[in-house]
């Protein structure tokens, strides 16, 4: 009887550990989403595959990586390329929005991803949470690795495909309560008088 009980416990252990891991990931991701949903807006400065900064106010964002600026007001996106002085206007898909703004990853992570807590690796001299998200859509093999500080703030994001890193950013500054005006998230043509407008909607 004791042997049967032991075998039963060994069979259940992986499922129990996975459930615990999943619960940890859910708790952390929910806290990160609360922080990144700050109604006053937040600012993320980053470096890595690209360098720049990102302003977020719920679904709205402004991205500046030096070469490209992108504005999104919740419906329309404007992308300005400095080298060509062109502005592309579009209505991005949810997938395109997730590639730019981590808000969209976290907003629907329970429906869009399988996720698991991977442990506490060391980054930049301190312990962080690592959570791996795998899209439920079998049409993509991309994996997202989120590294989150003990204060439940995003610290780094890595995108992998077929085991290879295709992009990685490290967040060097995370500032909340920025009191961002909605106009920040719309393209102002008067500031770019020579820009060619290309409407792709």
pLDDT at 18: 39
pLDDT at 139: 65
pLDDT at 103: 85
User: C-alpha distances in angstroms, 59 versus 37, 104, 158, 199?
Assistant: 8, 7, 21, 21
Q: Is 7 helix (H, G, I), strand (E, B) or coil?
A: helix
pLDDT at 164: 79
Kindly give the confidence (pLDDT) of every residue in the chain, 201 residues in length, as a single tens digit, with 9 standing for 90 and above.
444 433 433 343 343 333 445 678 899 999 999 999 999 999 999 999 889 999 999 899 999 998 899 999 999 999 999 999 999 999 998 878 887 888 888 888 888 888 889 888 888 788 999 999 888 876 667 888 999 999 999 999 998 887 778 888 999 999 999 999 999 999 999 999 999 999 998
pLDDT at 140: 66
Domain hosting 65: range is 2-199
Question: The whole model's pTM is what?
Answer: 0.82
Domain count for the chain: 1
The CATH number of residue 53's host domain is 2.50.20.10
Residue ranges in the chain assigned as alpha helix (H): 2-36, 94-100, 102-107, 109-112
CA distance 33 to 110: 12
CA distance 36 to 100: 14
Q: Hey, which bits of 95-175 come out as E strands?
A: 113-119, 122-123, 126-127, 129-135, 142-148, 154-161, 164-175
Please provide the DSSP assignment of 89-107 as one string. Answer: EE---HHHHHHH-HHHHHH
pLDDT at 159: 87
Which tokens sit at 27?
Answer: 């708790």
């Amino acid at each position: 009887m004791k042997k049967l009980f032991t075998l039963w416990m060994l069979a259940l252990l992986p499922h129990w550990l996975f459930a615990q891991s999943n619960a940890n990931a859910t708790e952390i991701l929910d806290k990160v989403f609360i922080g990144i949903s700050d109604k006053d807006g937040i600012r993320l400065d980053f470096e890595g595959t690209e360098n720049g900064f990102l302003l977020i106010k719920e679904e709205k964002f402004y991205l500046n990586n030096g070469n490209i600026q992108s504005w999104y007001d919740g419906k329309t996106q404007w992308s300005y390329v400095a080298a060509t002085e062109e502005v592309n206007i579009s209505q991005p898909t949810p997938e395109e929005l997730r590639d730019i703004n981590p808000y969209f990853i976290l907003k629907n992570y329970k429906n869009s991803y399988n996720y698991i807590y991977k442990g506490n690796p060391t980054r930049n001299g301190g312990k962080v949470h690592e959570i791996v998200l795998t899209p439920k859509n079998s049409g993509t093999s991309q994996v997202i690795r989120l590294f989150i500080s003990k204060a439940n703030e995003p610290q780094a994001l890595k995108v992998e495909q077929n085991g290879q890193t295709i992009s990685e950013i490290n967040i060097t500054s995370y500032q909340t309560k920025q009191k961002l005006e909605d106009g920040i998230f719309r393209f102002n043509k008067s500031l770019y008088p020579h820009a060619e407008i290309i409407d792709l909607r």
